[in-house]
Amino acid sequence: MTQDNQRSIWLTGASSGIGLALAEQLLTAGHRLALTARTLGPLEMLDERYPKQVLLAPGDITDSEQVMEIGERIAQVWGSLDTVILNAGTCEYVDCTRFDAKLIERVVRTNLLASSYCVQEALPLLRLGKDPHLVSVCSSVTFLPLTRAEAYGASKAGLRYLFQALRIDLAHEGIDVTIVSPGFVDTPLTASNDFPMPMRWTVDKAARHIADRLLRKNRPLEIAFPAPFIFALRLLALLPARLQLALGKRMVRPPAMEKDIP
């Protein structure tokens, strides 16, 4: 890869799951990555394998001061960014028999507020980059309300709206915005799910799919996969609200099952 084709990319949530697999894809393609995560070990392993391509930028992006420090580090070493991929996120499921507002707060802080901290630091660097591209890893859950997903779905729906609005307001500056909406992917986060996950993809397949589309000349507004699963969700979302409710109620766990969960 020539210097002209190489992109400077900031990737959050890079220590596991889609983030780690996506880092591998982008580094193998010859790009240089500033890698952010709270867990340093996997980032250091990538740095050992790609020493001239990796900029270690660890930290907790739910802490706005740490995000400012990460932004300053990238600015000092690289001076600009071409692509920012905000991938870090979490999921906790709500039990409405013991509704916990703190759970909502934790998930919203990690999935939505942390991304806004990153956007604040990313935009000045993107404005100095080449063909700037801002990317958010959202979720297909935003297409249809699902049982126990109140916290996760609300945070990702907020994230979707944030980036759709940013897409409009940044267009005149030439900053493209892409939203990534995965279905079920085998990651450490989904490993704890205790329900069926239809059309589940491996993390490597998901990362290849995302990387291929992000690096195309004509950047997509959205990368949603797998296509049949997304089509089904979008179709269900068109149903009348009462029919959606009836279908959703069929997925709710019986009370006896909830008591069996520690």
pLDDT band at residue 197 using 50, 70 and 90 as cut-offs:
confident
- Give a yes or no: residue 3 inside a domain: no
- Give a yes or no: residue 84 inside a domain: yes
pTM: 0.93
pLDDT above 70 covers what percent of the chain?
A: 96
Task: Give me the residue label for tokens 């900029």.
Answer: 55
- Give a yes or no: residue 94 inside a domain: yes
Residue 142 in tokens? 């935003």
Instruction: Give the Cβ contact number of residue 119 at 10 Å.
Output: 19
Task: Give me the residue label for tokens 């959703």.
Answer: 248
Q: Residue 252: which domain range? A: 8-260
Tell me how many domains the chain contains.
1
180: β partners: 137, 223
* Cα-to-chain-centroid distance, residue 58: 17
- Give a yes or no: residue 206 inside a domain: yes
pLDDT tens-place string over residues 9-60: 999 999 999 999 999 999 999 999 999 999 999 999 999 999 899 999 999 9
pLDDT tens-place string over residues 103-123: 999 999 999 999 999 999 999
Residue 12: partners with Cβ closer than 8 Å, 6 or more residues away: 19, 36, 37, 61, 85, 86, 87, 88, 118
Question: Is 101's pLDDT higher than 60?
Answer: yes
- Give a yes or no: residue 2 inside a domain: no
Residue 214: partners with Cβ closer than 8 Å, 6 or more residues away: 83, 85, 133, 135, 178, 223
- pLDDT, averaged across the chain: 93
Give kind and range of the element (H or E) at residue 157: helix 150-170
- Give a yes or no: residue 143 inside a domain: yes
Question: Is 210's pLDDT higher than 70?
Answer: yes
- Give a yes or no: residue 105 inside a domain: yes
- Give a yes or no: residue 85 inside a domain: yes
Average pLDDT over residues 186-192: 80
CATH code of the domain in which 60 resides: 3.40.50.720
**Contact present, 18 and 180 (Cβ < 8 Å):** no
Of the candidates 4, 23, 25, the residue with the CA atom closest to the CA atom of residue 14:
23
